[in-house]
Amino acid sequence: MKKIEKLFNKAIKRLIKKKFLRSIVSNKNIKGSKTKRNGKKKKSSTNKIVAPTILDIYNPNHHENVLNFIETIERRAEQEHSKSHGLFICFRNTIYISAAAGLYLLAKLENLRSNYPLVKYTVTRPPFKTTKKGEHHVVDSVLNRIGIYSAFGVKGREMKENPSVKCWEVIRGELVDSEMAGKLLETVAAKMGEEYTDLYRPLIEAMSNSVEHAYRDDLYDNQKKTNKNKWWCFAAIMNNKLVLLICDLGVGIPRTLKLTQGEKVLSKLIELMGKPIELDSEHIKASLQVKRTRTKLGYRGKGGTDLQSIIENFKNAQLRIISNNGNYRYTEHKRSEPEKLWDAKKSINGTIVEWSIPLPTERGTL
């Protein structure tokens, strides 16, 4: 009996020792080992930032996730700019990116690289596979095409471009550049075989707003921005629509509206709205009525209406504006409610204007 008890105690001691050794190994793994089994250096998991599955700032269900992702990159870059650790950005789970989210991410990254040029990035690319419907995930092609990889300082690779992103073009600038805007529209029009000269004035109007108002000295903290670019513009053919966007990282319409308009105009805008202008989305809606309001009051018109003129000139066109927390959509499509307003929990700290114009149906999908 004593012999059995002795053997049992030895077995228990071995198990306790084994468990103790395993706990040590487990703790090491939690802290993150510096090397893999093959001896290669392991990327630090503490600096790994995983992109959301859906990159879309128009959808309330995904808006906050996208902004959290970008804010995390900004915060970590600020922490790491004096160190040599670098950041690891993972797009492995990302299967969708909208035009607005792509342009906004590009603008934020280019601004970030300008502010913290020493931070090194490693990027894991998105999946390339087909969905259940047989569609290809095109996120990798999009990130490559519009310059997201370049903004991370990662060399863009030679790849067979997905046909759906071949007509995606991006420009950026510091001043109102009518020539550059004209060339962008010419490039897209040439690929479509259509003339879209009615887009020119609204695009210049939005560009002018970004340059003149978005970075006001009395409101904007210039220490946040070392990048000289004040606007980013994007044109693409998506789902048989021409999509045109312009983005800035300025103070936003809600902060400039009341400073750029007099008391009479503001009173008239409140009258038109039927209530005090409080939410950011309400400021966006009110800003679109400025030109009409000033004209009625006998002032020289400026701003607003030109952004909406596309809706009047193109059937089933759509206007979307995000400024700070505010989201605004206007369309004359019969199946949709004309206006939709909502405020997000998080601010984009800037403004995005998007026009979407259906292409003639006989052209088919591009």
pLDDT tens column, 289-314:
887 776 656 555 444 557 888 887 88
Q: How many domains does the chain have?
A: 2
The beta strand positions in the chain, using DSSP E, are 48-50, 54-55, 87-90, 96-97, 121-124, 169-173, 231-238, 241-248, 318-323, 326-331, 339-343, 351-358
Does a structural domain hold residue 310?
A: yes
Q: What confidence score (pLDDT) does residue 30 get? A: 38
Are both 136 and 170 inside the same structural domain?
no
What is the CATH classification number for the domain harbouring 173?
Answer: 3.30.565.10
From 2-11, 21-30, 160-169, 298-307, the region with the lowest mean pLDDT:
21-30
Domain boundary among 154, 187, 217: 154
For 273-288, what is the mean pLDDT? Answer: 93
Are both 150 and 236 inside the same structural domain?
no
Does a structural domain hold residue 2?
A: no
Are both 138 and 231 inside the same structural domain?
no
How many whole angstroms separate alpha carbon 16 and alpha carbon 330?
A: 68
Are both 214 and 349 inside the same structural domain?
yes
The values of phi and psi at residue 340, to 5°, are: -140, 125
Q: In the chain, pLDDT over 70 holds for what percent of residues?
A: 73
Does a structural domain hold residue 18?
A: no
- Tokens 């004309």, residue located: 338
**CA geometry: angle 246, 252, 256, nearest 5 deg:** 125
Does a structural domain hold residue 347?
A: yes
Using an 8 Å Cβ cutoff, are 123 and 92 in contact?
no
268 against 254, higher pLDDT: 254
The pLDDT-based confidence of 348 (bands split at 50, 70, 90) is: very high
**Six token digits for residue 161:** 């471009």
Are both 144 and 177 inside the same structural domain?
no
Does a structural domain hold residue 309?
A: yes
pLDDT digits (tens, 9 = 90+) for 104-143: 999 999 999 999 999 999 999 997 765 555 455 689 989 9
For 268-295, what is the mean pLDDT? Answer: 87
Does a structural domain hold residue 338?
A: yes
How many whole angstroms separate alpha carbon 9 and alpha carbon 230?
A: 75
From 15-24, 46-55, 240-249, the region with the lowest mean pLDDT:
15-24
pLDDT digits (tens, 9 = 90+) for 79-103: 988 776 789 999 999 999 999 999 9
* Domain assignment of residue 110, given as a range: 42-154
Domain boundary among 134, 154, 174: 154
Nearby residues of 137 by Cβ (< 8 Å), 6 or more positions away: 95, 96, 126, 127, 128, 129, 130, 131
How many whole angstroms separate alpha carbon 233 and alpha carbon 244?
A: 8
Q: What confidence score (pLDDT) does residue 188 get? A: 76
How many whole angstroms separate alpha carbon 17 and alpha carbon 5?
A: 18
Are both 180 and 232 inside the same structural domain?
yes
Q: In the chain, pLDDT over 90 holds for what percent of residues?
A: 43
From 21-35, 105-119, 223-237, 294-308, the region with the lowest mean pLDDT:
21-35
Are both 144 and 201 inside the same structural domain?
no
The pLDDT-based confidence of 45 (bands split at 50, 70, 90) is: low
From 13-17, 110-114, 159-163, 274-278, the region with the lowest mean pLDDT:
13-17
pLDDT digits (tens, 9 = 90+) for 147-175: 999 999 997 666 666 666 767 889 999 99
Q: Is the pLDDT of residue 8 over 70?
A: no
The values of phi and psi at residue 236, to 5°, are: -155, 160
Are both 111 and 214 inside the same structural domain?
no
How many whole angstroms separate alpha carbon 280 and alpha carbon 283?
A: 5
Does a structural domain hold residue 274?
A: yes
220 against 147, higher pLDDT: 147
Nearby residues of 8 by Cβ (< 8 Å), 6 or more positions away: none
Are both 59 and 106 inside the same structural domain?
yes
Q: How far is CA 220 from CA 1, 214, 245, 263, 284, in A?
A: 84, 8, 23, 23, 19
Q: Is pTM, for the whole model, over 0.85?
A: no
Average pLDDT, the chain: 81
**Six token digits for residue 79:** 């922490």
Are both 295 and 364 inside the same structural domain?
yes
Q: What confidence score (pLDDT) does residue 312 get? A: 79
The pLDDT-based confidence of 335 (bands split at 50, 70, 90) is: low
Q: What confidence score (pLDDT) does residue 198 get? A: 80
How many whole angstroms separate alpha carbon 52 and alpha carbon 67?
A: 10
Q: What confidence score (pLDDT) does residue 28 get? A: 47
Does a structural domain hold residue 32?
A: no
Are both 182 and 132 inside the same structural domain?
no
Domain boundary among 105, 120, 154: 154
Are both 251 and 346 inside the same structural domain?
yes
Q: How far is CA 6 from CA 22, 40, 298, in A?
A: 25, 45, 104
Q: Is the pLDDT of residue 176 over 80?
A: yes
The pLDDT-based confidence of 29 (bands split at 50, 70, 90) is: very low
